[in-house]
Structure 1
């Protein structure tokens, strides 16, 4: 005996559709009877509602049958490659919102790795960022560079302190009157050169000006100061009229000068000190002596000859200085280039040196000379008396509101000695 077959959704939908059709036919027969049985108004409204409900039920059954057929087809095609994802169509339904059905097998969730647990006996420490070995080298190089620069600065200070340039500057400003610009230029060259010991050429400063403006006095102050800091043997004062008065003796004098310079620079090399050579009365130096000095300034000389200071004093070009100051009382900055061009025409030596001009002295500077000389000789510095003595000095015509002395302070010593 066969078991009773279960009714499926499709059979139920078909039976319901047959029942609905039979009901519709019955209603048509009843309505077509010529109105033998009249219909009431409530029955007509109920009939309209039931027909709408039947239509909704019929649509629902058809959708469920179509959905089931699609699911069966998707299951049948599940083993084929490239099979589409079986998802329900996004249309209006009465079913509760359900997740889309996919034809692909569900993806496996990745298992989380267990956190690494450090042993209790060790200290937990997060892994740090790796440092490149070049970073340590960079720090080391920076430290070495800093130490070298610091040592270089300390060495500069040591050299300057050794020669006591601050004391020299104070002495020159106090003892040399009316030449502040020349003193500043000279000190700038000395500080720049003496701050180091190794050089590629010696320092040569040539100071020129009229008679009585303090050239020889400046040379004596320089020589005295350097004798006190580097020693007597490393300072040479050379006077052209005293050491070589005759032109016939010029070759011999040149060799003698080179010998004195060689002895001083060799001693300075052994003691690591820079010698000073003060060459006064440059206007009386013969050509052979100037040539010998020019040879000492060549960069091809030995190292000991490059570590030396030469100060040349003279009144070469004094007429240019006087004429320039009388015409341009405020144009001192143009005096050095003009004097340099004039001296270069006299000898090639002055093309290799630093030219510093010394200007004319005014009446106030002459008064300071009298005050200093009278104090040295023990006289009471009476201002009225000093003005009377200063009035006896010859002066150029006033230029730019300034009154320059013709002979500077050259006659001050003689006039004070007459008191």
Structure 2
């Protein structure tokens, strides 16, 4: 018997016992008390949209960003401030909209998982976290209008169920602009739309767009002999903006989200270096319950392709293939 079924039976049992224990004069109060207790027991076992299941672990998010996300000092700082500020605001003016940019393997997907982990007790497995990818959920250009309608209904239904719902859109650079435009009403400054408030929802967009310009900036710092940690958001904002706003392949090009300034933060992810790939391998071993082995981590990192030639400073895949590589060595 599943957990939810046992909880429902316990709910019914509690209510029945309470009702039978009192005379008819107090039975109404007894039913109320039993129902309240039953709901408490039910909510203990079954995920619901209350603080027991949905609540920001600010310390946990900060620690995870510092110890598990490597080589992304800019992204870590922005994400922590954006998420904690939003979740600690009881009356936000609009949903939180984050747009994460950078090459594959730099940590964009991983960050979305860390955010989910530290808001929802069940993390990415939560019923209130929804992941969409272009090729899986919106594969056919001929069905764009159908996709738009279905997506809007999905967002409305899930936010109605839980105000603190999270929607993650991967492969934004492959997504039809019409799909993105269909999201616009839900991330705007509306108090309510058809009786539903979307102000406590979180929307996260993941895109490779802007990765080239971000990498060029990192390479300029490297060529000048400057420390990677000296790179600040101001050094990347202009190039990132041009890549996102003027690139037809960005996924956000000429969309209403850009025209109406509805994206709260454009977050750049820097290309990873050899040392960061080693850290990823060590962390992955620990996650697998293994004793981290620096020799193995170094071997895995050493097999990556690095650029520019001949120096080979930045990893072309970042931490993308670390798990499969480790399976070969362990």
Q: Under a length normalisation based on structure 1, what TM-score does the superposition of the two structures give?
A: 0.56
- In structure 1, distance between residues paired with 2:86 and 2:239: 25
Which of 154, 158, 164 is 1:264 aligned to? 158
- In structure 2, distance between residues paired with 1:331 and 1:177: 15
Shift of 1:163: 1.7
Which of 265, 275, 278 is 2:165 aligned to? 275
- In structure 2, distance between residues paired with 1:167 and 1:377: 20
Q: How many residues align?
A: 256
Which of 290, 296, 308 is 2:186 aligned to? 296
Per-residue Cα deviation, 1:174-205 (whole angstroms, up to 9, x for no partner): 22221132011011111222222223222101
Taking a change above 3 Å as real, the CA distance of residues 173 and 250 of structure 1, as seen in their structure-2 partners, is farther
Match of 1:412 in 2: 322
Shift of 1:378: 5.4
Shift of 1:321: 1.3
> 3-state DSSP class of the match of 2:162?
helix
- In structure 2, distance between residues paired with 1:176 and 1:169: 10
What is the 5 A alignment of 1:71-220?
A: 162-220=55-113
- In structure 1, distance between residues paired with 2:110 and 2:101: 13
Do 2:94 and 2:188's aligned partners in 1 also have CA atoms closer than 8 Å? yes
Taking a change above 3 Å as real, the CA distance of residues 394 and 254 of structure 1, as seen in their structure-2 partners, is same
Which of 130, 136, 147 is 1:236 aligned to? 130
Unaligned runs of 5+ in 1: 1-157
What is the 5 A alignment of 1:25-64?
A: none
Match of 2:36 in 1: none
> 3-state DSSP class of the match of 1:361?
coil
- In structure 2, distance between residues paired with 1:306 and 1:341: 28
Shift of 1:229: 7.4
Per-residue Cα deviation, 1:211-241 (whole angstroms, up to 9, x for no partner): 1111112222323333317993332222222
Do 2:58 and 2:118's aligned partners in 1 also have CA atoms closer than 8 Å? no
Match of 1:385 in 2: 296
Do 2:56 and 2:120's aligned partners in 1 also have CA atoms closer than 8 Å? no
Per-residue Cα deviation, 1:354-387 (whole angstroms, up to 9, x for no partner): 1010111111110011112233445553323322
- In structure 2, distance between residues paired with 1:413 and 1:360: 19
State whether structure 2 residue 228 is matched by structure 1 residue 338: no
State whether structure 2 residue 114 is matched by structure 1 residue 221: yes
Do 1:164 and 1:229's aligned partners in 2 also have CA atoms closer than 8 Å? no
What is the 5 A alignment of 1:324-363?
A: 324-329=217-222, 330-333=230-233, 334-345=235-246, 346-348=253-255, 349-350=257-258, 351-353=261-263, 354-363=265-274
Do 2:169 and 2:204's aligned partners in 1 also have CA atoms closer than 8 Å? yes
Moved over 6 A (4+): none
Shift of 1:210: 0.5
Shift of 1:250: 2.0
- In structure 1, distance between residues paired with 2:321 and 2:92: 42
Taking a change above 3 Å as real, the CA distance of residues 266 and 406 of structure 1, as seen in their structure-2 partners, is same
Do 1:235 and 1:275's aligned partners in 2 also have CA atoms closer than 8 Å? yes
Shift of 1:392: 1.6
- In structure 1, distance between residues paired with 2:232 and 2:309: 17
Match of 1:323 in 2: 216
Do 1:163 and 1:229's aligned partners in 2 also have CA atoms closer than 8 Å? no
- In structure 2, distance between residues paired with 1:381 and 1:297: 43
- In structure 2, distance between residues paired with 1:343 and 1:215: 16
Q: CA RMSD in A?
A: 2.8
Q: Under a length normalisation based on structure 2, what TM-score does the superposition of the two structures give?
A: 0.69
- In structure 2, distance between residues paired with 1:177 and 1:307: 29
